[in-house]
Copies of this chain bind each other. A is one copy, B any other.
Amino acid sequence: MAAQERGLKIYHLNIGQPDLATPASFYEAVNRFHAPTVAYAPSPGTPELIDAIRRYYARLGVRLEPDDVLITTGGSEALLFTCLSILDPGTEVIIPEPYYPNYTTFVHAAGGVVRAMPTYPESGYHYASREELERLVTKNTRAILITNPGNPTGVVLTREEMRMIADVARERNIFLIADEVYREFCYDEAAGVPTMAAFPDIANNLVIVDSVSKRFSACGARVGCIVTKNRELQQAVLKFCQSRLSVATLDQVGATALYGTDPAFFAASKEEYRRRRDTVTAKLRQIPGVRFTEPQGAFYLMAALPVDDTDKFQHWLLTEFEDHGETVMFAPGAPFYETPGKGVNEIRIAYVKSQPELERAMDLLALGIKAYNSRPRGNNP
């Protein structure tokens, strides 16, 4: 019987929906907006939002022209339009795995093929060597797609790794699609705020996917953007932007206000997630047989569990297990891998809950692993 039918409380660590409050400026701006007609916004985005994003990038030391920013309905539409713009049937995108599973849908929508570059828990999911990356580049390769900081691994690329990837993209003249929606969530203060836009020599190859969703805890606003200085790509993406007319007007008004948020908000958010990471990793270290690398960014963590199959284990947690009327849910690892058979004993934990909830959820995970591995096997269907 499913957990909900059994009346259980489920701790959801399976989705990346932050629980932090959206800055009040979002609602304030939305509630101030009173145009008699809720009309289409300009297809590339409102000038006010584009300017707000340019000012935000300027603080990172990146100078953008208005045409370099195209507002999209979330980072998702940014990824879809980028794929539709640069891929033809049979062309390839190199993606380090494990990766965000929806990338596959966007690449396939454009007729493209994913070429997975393996990374491993043993090396903290850091990227392959230059040789291993270059080995995957073929005449059909159109892009390398990276997430930095990483979802689901929490890996933050070193400056040297970023430079290496940038070099390969430039020398092979392929696009580098950098999904940087978790940019502000880096727990090593010394590393600063990483962005591929810091390498001006790859400006013509670079496409940054960005979003207000995680940065301002405003996932439901569905406001993202594509940042690129490649004129040809700007035109191709703009055609898709025009075909869908515009991004929601009110949400662009709200997002513009969000970009005026005091940077202290980022610092406070980051500190909260860092504490949560520390809670989760401290608890995980106490569970025998669990292997993981401490994530340096975002709010995800991949862990290998001492179970046969995390998909079966998750199903069992929801249908057979309970402790004081509670159970826990995470994301099984296999869907984060393109390579068949990989990730079957891994899970992704999204630490987007309060400290007490995370502590209890981790205790439930520990209890669950123990009970799962000592259950009567004959009963296992």
Residues of chain A touching chain B, judged by Cβ–Cβ distance below 8 Å, are: 15, 17-22, 26-27, 30-31, 34, 36-41, 73-74, 76-77, 80, 84, 89, 102, 105-106, 109-111, 217-222, 239-240, 242-251, 254
Neighbouring B residues of A40 by C-beta, 8 Å: 15, 17, 219-220
Closest to A106 in B: B243
Neighbouring B residues of A27 by C-beta, 8 Å: 34
Neighbouring B residues of A15 by C-beta, 8 Å: 40
| Residue in contact with A243 in the complex, picked from B19, B76, B89, B243, CB distance below 8 Å | B76
What's the nearest-Cβ distance from chain B to residue A271, in Å? 18
Task: Apart from A76-B244, A221-B250, list 15 A-B contacts with CB within 8 A.
Answer: A20-B37, A21-B37, A22-B36, A22-B38, A26-B38, A37-B220, A40-B220, A73-B77, A80-B243, A80-B244, A89-B89, A219-B246, A221-B248, A222-B246, A250-B251
Copies of this chain, whole number: 2
Q: State whether A221 and B244 are in contact (beta carbons under 8 Å apart), knowing that A36-B21, A37-B18 are contacts in the complex.
A: no
A228 to B34, CA, bound (A): 35
Are the CB atoms of B26 and A220 closer together than 8 Å?
A: no
Are the CB atoms of B105 and A73 closer together than 8 Å?
A: no
Neighbouring B residues of A31 by C-beta, 8 Å: 30-31
What's the nearest-Cβ distance from chain B to residue A95, in Å? 15
Closest to A250 in B: B250
Are the CB atoms of A221 and B249 closer together than 8 Å?
A: yes
Are the CB atoms of A105 and B243 closer together than 8 Å?
A: yes
Q: Which 3 A-B pairs have the closest CB atoms?
A: A220-B249, A105-B243, A76-B244
Are the CB atoms of B37 and A22 closer together than 8 Å?
A: yes
| Residue in contact with A250 in the complex, picked from B20, B21, B220, B244, CB distance below 8 Å | B220
Neighbouring B residues of A110 by C-beta, 8 Å: 109
